[in-house]
Structure 1
Amino acid sequence: MKNITFLLGVMLCGIITLQAQKNTQEAPFAKPKLVVGIVVDQMRYDYLTRYWDKYGDDGFKRMISEGFNCRNNHFNYVPTKTAAGHATVYTGATPKVHGIIGNDWYDKVEDRMVYCTEDATVESLGTDTDAGKMSPRRMIASTVTDQLKLATVSKGKVIGISIKDRGAILPAGHAADAAYWFHGKDEGHWISSTFYMDELPKWVTKFNKSDAAEKYKKVWNTLYDIDDYTESIADENNFEGAFEGEKAAVFPHDLPKLWDDNGGFDILKGVAYGNSLTVDFAEAAVAGEDLGKDNITDFLAVSFSSPDYVGHRYGVSAVETEDTYLRLDKDLGRFLSFLDQKVGKGEYTVFLTADHGAVEVPSYLESLNMPGGNFSTKELHDQLNTFLTEKFGSDKLVKNISNEQIFLDQALLKKINIASEDVETAIVNEIKNYKNVAEAYTGTAMRNGEFVHGVTHNLQMGYNFKRSGDVLYILDPSYIPSSSKTGTTHGSGYAYDTHSPLLFFGKGIKQGETLKRTEIPDIANTICALLGIAYPDGKTGEPISEVIE
């Protein structure tokens, strides 16, 4: 009897021990109180290394020293445009799946150019203009933010913030609590649309009434002595565009004096202060919405749009660009310190990336005897029409050329009994001989073939069955479809447009780095894996296993 009692006691102790081990076993996911997604518009990877010695310890350097740095991170599709980039970061898929093939594109059904977030069915909030008539309805895949709403049965809050409407709306997703963007002109307010709510929350109205944007109506001068900006070319050069009313694109930029000629508050979008204003509003959102206050994960998507405006005006190697990133580094450090206090150090997770890179100003490259230049889409169109008239007897076959894609008039082709594939093939064989056209492919090839490497693969990952053109072409490296000799742009599949930063930081993130190639669609899937929630429905990327603890 004693032996039986002893054995029962041993078994009971074993059961209790196993149960205790079971109860203390670590969950295979992390539950940060807040996830913050940061997209820096037009940030090339080398902006991290180029200005490294001038960055402080609290911004980019803190994220890298305490977090994980993916040093060989790339976009894997064309075209590399703002809207497509934001959609890809958050859907974990490429334009082939999510449908955002550019900032705007030719819609074959509506027979017009459409904007990525335009929505005539909703109304503006915070302005009497149409600037708020926006929504994510043209994005046809779910986002990581949508998946968080589903996983928490909408208890987790999701907020999107950006100077640009598309930079706030697409990351926030379809099920978001709100997306807010900046409306300049003579208002200087953060606005939204009735897609999300019936009226602006009190904290937003209070922020707008505080004239928070007004304090940035001041001179923009360099943060440090201009002679210390040794990572940039001379401030006065021939490769930068000036504001209306300026004699030259040089520091200091007197914003009060330039105000009226440059759209009032709109001028803040195109200077470094736009990033500071974005952080101000993001902090107000964290406080106003009580983000990260409980154990249900919230999500704040923040896009810094001003670097893109600065880059388009001044270029990659401008003093203005360097100053913008040095100031952004300080703003980032300020925001991380704020999150430490409001949410708790180690209680939140952050990722930082970009929506695309940028090419050096082609005229600057030309001055160094390097390849690069301008390309005229109008000349291509005119030359192509001449060819099509000779070949098929009509100069009306091309309906639209945009985003380096050619759209044919399918109704006309059917009427005159010409097969689209025959015209597509003829165009490819024709324009491959045009100066500075590197490659061209038919839409038929994009639909029926499978390309696994190089720029052709990137084209296919950006090709959407219903929305993309009938012929796609690629320009030579560092050639841009513009006549402008100043400022930079983006959109290609070349490394200067695809190589972007990717930093992870905070709860559940390892400390380290990798030179293994990672891709933009991996980001959303990594965050989903971290949180233990379902992947976005169009997922094409994979989680980056090295990042997660």
Structure 2
Amino acid sequence: MQRSHRSVTIWEPVRKYLLICVLAYLASSVGYTQAPAGVPARPRLVLVVAIDQMRFDFLDRFEPLYKAGLRQLIDRGGVFTNANYRHASTETGPGHSVLLSGSHPSHSGIVANEWWDPYLNRSINVIDDPTQTTVGGRGRSASPANMLTFTVGDALKATSPRSRVVGVGMKDRSAILMGGRRADGAYWFENDGGNFVTSTYYMNAAPAWLDDWNRSRRVDRFASQSWNRLVDDVALYEKYAGKDAVEGERDRKDITFPHPFVAMPPATEHYVELRRSPFGDEAVLDFALEAMKQHELGKDAETDILAIGFAATDGIGHQWGPDSHEQMDQMLRLDIVLGRLFAQVDATVGLANTVIVLSADHGSRPIVEISQERGVAARRFAPKAIQTAVTSAFAKRYPGVNDLMSYFATDIYLNEDAVRRHKLDIREVERTAIDALLATGAVERVYTHDDLRSTAPSSDPFLELFRNAFFAPRSPHLQLLLKREVYVTSTIGGTGHGSPYEFDRHVPVVFMGPGITAGRYTDASGPEDIAPTVAHLLGLQFPREHDSRVLLEMLNR
């Protein structure tokens, strides 16, 4: 593939406008990373690896067992041991939007994986874009249009148009949000058909190599395999992950190895199963290496960016939890996958010419039943109970008014048209809902738009996290801080994330490459620091949040 500028399309005026916005933002930003003097020569490749649902403790807990990619990062990288997200929306969309933009959801507009649009009267997925169509197979019409900020890749291409930026992920929102607005390509996997696809936002038609890849059906080679322990030593797994087959895992049935595929290709259910197995990461790796080759990343002096989102840790974590033998096995296999990735980058680009960054979009909470075994009064709480509490309170307080809630997703969107139509006081409506929510015993605190718009100081340790996640046109009217031990779910097993507690916010941040001093760094940090630090390494001006920073302590002086 020849390195050249894009052909002009109908989107070119939009891209030019966005470039102007980028430059204006850079010029006017109060907090920004200066283009530093005397930094090392730019690397040929910046490789960003996002591990969906990787808690920081996975790095330390299984450290003696890592032998490949994670071993390299631990031994040769700058490891930030106290990296926590500075926002409350610990979901996939918000997390991935932060990694290469450094922007809080309050500025990016990526407040959740989906939100309610009162004008369209429906929920909006984080990467929905009905003006685009899928390329390479069936799937969601998607683009980064909903992301209101820009990434390091966007800033890089504004100053170095011949640089290439590519995002690859099992999930669409991972590839798209890390790639940014000016990416040369973003590719993700779709269950419907089992293909890697992209959209017309990036290209008008699928390149021949993408069609060839999908026709090869390489992704189907795992169908005959059964997932068993990588190491045939149950005692080893019990030492590092505890006992197996714990009550509360998955559906409380499929909780022991081996885990064979039930459905076979081309059934959609097979690809759903693939996502929650380590083989999903292998499929992403294979495709990412092909995309790296086809886009000629790292082939010349112009810095390129490749962002890869591995999602098997998330699929497995939701089903079996962070303390399971399955999740331990996934981390051991991920170590091998990353070793293969780094070896190929070394062979084609050279690790001496590559800066590698590893982080995660969020963590996860322990399985409720495991917490109970540890003496924690944890419990599952049905979302319907929360919704019913509010609707019942509305029915009692406002007889005959039955349309005050537009959308319920644990957090609550009120119907402002109904409030006006019935001539109600919205703050009184909020107070009615808040009283009902607090009475459930599952809710610690409820934040309103007034609370989150305010800049008044507060002793509430969670308020700033919610403010950083607040974007008024998209955020719920009522945002719930659930009690720490409460997991709101309709499932009988598994676990999740989405809270502002440290088990959901504490993630790895690791840098490795030229200019990076290996070691463990304990000062407070967060994924919001990744983008300004990468920008610093590339000599770019780049805005940063008031509470983020450049990770100077690891940089060679």
Fold in common (TM above 0.5)? yes
Equivalenced residue count is 516
**Pairwise mapping of residues 16-95 of structure 1 onto structure 2 (< 5 A)?**
27-28=38-39, 30-56=41-67, 58-95=68-105
2:182 paired with 1:175: yes
CA–CA distance in structure 2, aligned partners of residues 88 and 298 of structure 1: 19
**Which residue in 2 is equivalent to 1:422?**
428
Do the aligned residues in 1 keep the contact of 2:194 with 2:268 (CA within 8 Å)? no
Correspondent of 2:302 among 296, 303, 310: 296
Correspondent of 1:137 among 121, 145, 156: 145
Q: Secondary structure at the match of 2:352?
A: coil
Q: Secondary structure at the match of 1:101?
A: coil
Q: Secondary structure at the match of 2:475?
A: coil
User: Residue type matched to 1:106 in 2?
Assistant: W
**Pairwise mapping of residues 160-199 of structure 1 onto structure 2 (< 5 A)?**
160-185=167-192, 187-199=193-205
Q: Cα gap change, 1:536/1:121 in structure 2, threshold over 3 Å: closer, same or farther?
A: farther
Q: Cα gap change, 1:336/1:445 in structure 2, threshold over 3 Å: closer, same or farther?
A: same
CA–CA distance in structure 1, aligned partners of residues 321 and 544 of structure 2: 37
CA–CA distance in structure 1, aligned partners of residues 53 and 427 of structure 2: 36
CA–CA distance in structure 2, aligned partners of residues 214 and 385 of structure 1: 47
Q: Which moved more, 1:217-226 or 1:43-52?
A: 217-226
CA–CA distance in structure 1, aligned partners of residues 374 and 266 of structure 2: 37
State the shift of 1:491 in Å.
0.1
Listed as ranges, the gaps of 5+ residues in structure 1 are 1-24
Do the aligned residues in 2 keep the contact of 1:144 with 1:536 (CA within 8 Å)? no
**Pairwise mapping of residues 428-447 of structure 1 onto structure 2 (< 5 A)?**
428-447=434-453
CA–CA distance in structure 1, aligned partners of residues 543 and 140 of structure 2: 27
**Which residue in 2 is equivalent to 1:484?**
491
Do the aligned residues in 1 keep the contact of 2:443 with 2:483 (CA within 8 Å)? yes
**Pairwise mapping of residues 85-484 of structure 1 onto structure 2 (< 5 A)?**
85-127=95-137, 129=138, 131-152=139-160, 154-185=161-192, 187-217=193-223, 218-227=225-234, 228-230=236-238, 231-241=240-250, 248-255=254-261, 263-393=269-399, 394-402=401-409, 404-451=410-457, 454-484=461-491
Normalising by structure 1, report the TM-score.
0.90
Normalising by structure 2, report the TM-score.
0.88
> Alpha-carbon deviations, 1:79-106, whole Å to 9, x = none?
2000110001121111111011111111
**Which residue in 1 is equivalent to 2:7?**
none
> Alpha-carbon deviations, 1:275-330, whole Å to 9, x = none?
11111111112211111011110000101011101111111111111111100001
User: Residue type matched to 2:116 in 1?
Assistant: Y
Do the aligned residues in 2 keep the contact of 1:141 with 1:538 (CA within 8 Å)? no
Q: Secondary structure at the match of 2:476?
A: coil
CA–CA distance in structure 1, aligned partners of residues 272 and 355 of structure 2: 32
User: Residue type matched to 1:516 in 2?
Assistant: D
Do the aligned residues in 2 keep the contact of 1:424 with 1:443 (CA within 8 Å)? no
Please report the RMSD computed on the Cα atoms of aligned residues, expressed in angstroms.
2.1
Do the aligned residues in 2 keep the contact of 1:235 with 1:251 (CA within 8 Å)? no
CA–CA distance in structure 1, aligned partners of residues 466 and 41 of structure 2: 36
CA–CA distance in structure 2, aligned partners of residues 180 and 462 of structure 1: 27
CA–CA distance in structure 2, aligned partners of residues 288 and 418 of structure 1: 59
Identity %: 29
State the shift of 1:380 in Å.
1.7
State the shift of 1:441 in Å.
1.8
2:528 paired with 1:521: yes
CA–CA distance in structure 2, aligned partners of residues 277 and 197 of structure 1: 23
**Which residue in 2 is equivalent to 1:14?**
none
State the shift of 1:33 in Å.
0.1
> Alpha-carbon deviations, 1:362-403, whole Å to 9, x = none?
12222443121112222222222222233344343222222x
**Which residue in 1 is equivalent to 2:33?**
none
User: Residue type matched to 2:282 in 1?
Assistant: S
Q: Cα gap change, 1:431/1:94 in structure 2, threshold over 3 Å: closer, same or farther?
A: same
Q: Cα gap change, 1:413/1:134 in structure 2, threshold over 3 Å: closer, same or farther?
A: same
Q: Cα gap change, 1:263/1:120 in structure 2, threshold over 3 Å: closer, same or farther?
A: same
State the shift of 1:492 in Å.
0.1
**Which residue in 1 is equivalent to 2:513?**
506
